[in-house]
Amino acid sequence: MRGRPAGEGAGGGPGKGAGTPGGGRGWAGSGGDRGAACGPGDRAQLEVPAEGGGHPVRGAVVVRSGSVEALLRDLVSIPSVNPALGEGSGEGELARRVADELRELGAEVWLEEVLPGRPNVLAHVGDNGPRLLLSAHLDTVQTAGMSVAPFAGEVRHGRLYGRGACDTKASLAAMLASLREAVRSGRLSCRVTFAALVDEEVGFAGSKALAASRPQVDGAVFGEPTDLRLVVAHKGVMRFYVRTVGRAAHSATPQLGVNAIEGMLGIAGLLSTVPEPRPEHPVLGAPTVCVTEIQGGVGRNTVPDRCWVHVDRRLIPGEDGEAVWAALRDRVCGSERARRFAGSVEFERPYLVAPAMETPGSAWVL
């Protein structure tokens, strides 16, 4: 057994996922539920009214919903749970399926392995016009706790249910179907770079690889589910483990041991509270913190000598993740509750720090 609970990194990147392990649902449809690690509370959105009374955009293509639904069901049927979350083997099979779809419409396609067996799918199509990047991610969060079959793609009342249906296989299906129709109809009026990325839910390895290649584009559409509203600010995230270490003993003589679970219970309230005065962002509000996993003990008749918790701290613009972690560590370890525990409290350094983001109000483009 490793020195931390199974399922390291559960929940993914700052962004979200269709259906959380807690809510158990993931769907694509109108008014979609964000769910998972980073829901509406982590995003500040700006409504943009349609121009011209909602008339079709000049040069737009019309895609039959049935073709999108069939493609989405196909993509949902291919498991692509991020392997860092303790399930599955990653995005490889889905990447090959997306690559095949792109080849069929005549794109130049290649797979760029970012992590072992986990490639980004990159493609170019179109010879003239402005350069447009279309991007969505291939991986999903885990399926534990879902109340629907995760890979069946069941349609009920106009919504398709399954892991990743909303985040972001619906975006992949919509982009692929639109691109296919634009090519078929001869109405593709730009040069498209298509990027389907791995590891968005944990470490952003696919996004980092794409950024490192410095793609030259004039505009970009990223397939995160936002109900087609512009996102002008977004919370960041910091994730780390805290461990209490005690002393094992037989449960018939607990006085001879030091119970690590009891020690953790003593400090859990401090780990899940942002101390006053809490900083506030005018759009995102206050930062939050949550204990999201716990594991401890080795047997029913043994005083536990180890207990771990996983802490998820959401950051607002202006906060430094490492400084926040150090302040929380000092607050907990210097507390009376920690001093009363006969064992030790140990903070692991954050394995993920993703800063918050916001677009200045003076920006000319979002």
Helix axes 92-104, 65-76, angle to 10 degrees: 150
Per-residue b or e along 66-77, where b marks 16 or more CB atoms closer than 10 Å to that residue's CB: eebbebbbebbe
> For residues 128 and 284, what is the distance between their CA atoms, to the nearest angstrom?
40
Output the pLDDT for position 136: 97
Task: Say yes or no: 192 and 279 in one domain.
Answer: no
CB 357 within 8 A of CB 234: yes
What's the whole-number mean pLDDT along residues 345-354?
95
Q: Residue 132 belongs to what H/E stretch?
A: strand 131-137
Mean pLDDT of the chain: 85
Task: Say yes or no: 150 and 32 in one domain.
Answer: yes
Output the pLDDT for position 333: 96
Output the pLDDT for position 62: 72
Instruction: Examine the pLDDT at 357 and tell me if it is beyond 70.
Output: yes
Share of the chain above pLDDT 90, in %: 73
CB 186 within 8 A of CB 127: no
What's the whole-number mean pLDDT along residues 302-317?
97
pTM: 0.74
Output the pLDDT for position 18: 30
pLDDT digits (tens, 9 = 90+) for 115-162: 999 999 999 999 999 999 999 999 999 999 999 999 999 999 989 999
Task: Say yes or no: 221 and 248 in one domain.
Answer: no
pLDDT digits (tens, 9 = 90+) for 248-286: 999 999 999 999 999 999 999 999 999 988 999 999 999
Task: Say yes or no: 224 and 262 in one domain.
Answer: no
Pairing relationship of beta strands 118-125 and 27-28 according to DSSP bridges? unpaired
Task: Say yes or no: 206 and 177 in one domain.
Answer: yes
Closest-CA residue to 235 (of 40, 82, 85, 366): 40
Number of separate domains in the chain: 2
Higher pLDDT, 44 or 213: 213
pLDDT digits (tens, 9 = 90+) for 33-77: 333 333 334 444 433 334 444 444 455 677 777 789 999 999 999
CB 314 within 8 A of CB 321: no
Write out the residue range of the structural domain in which residue 135 sits. 27-45+64-231
Task: Say yes or no: 38 and 87 in one domain.
Answer: yes
Q: Domain containing 144 — which CATH number?
A: 3.40.630.10
Output the pLDDT for position 86: 86
The position carrying tokens 């210097």 is: 334
Domain boundary among 177, 197, 231: 231
105: how many CB neighbours lie within 10 A of its CB? 19
Output the pLDDT for position 56: 46
The terminus-to-terminus CA distance of the chain in angstroms comes to 46
Surface-to-core class of residue 361, CB atoms within 10 Å of its CB (0-12 exposed, 13-18 middle, 19+ buried): exposed
Surface-to-core class of residue 302, CB atoms within 10 Å of its CB (0-12 exposed, 13-18 middle, 19+ buried): middle
> For residues 57 and 176, what is the distance between their CA atoms, to the nearest angstrom?
19
pLDDT digits (tens, 9 = 90+) for 185-205: 999 999 999 999 999 998 899
Instruction: Examine the pLDDT at 224 and tell me if it is beyond 60.
Output: yes
Output the pLDDT for position 59: 58
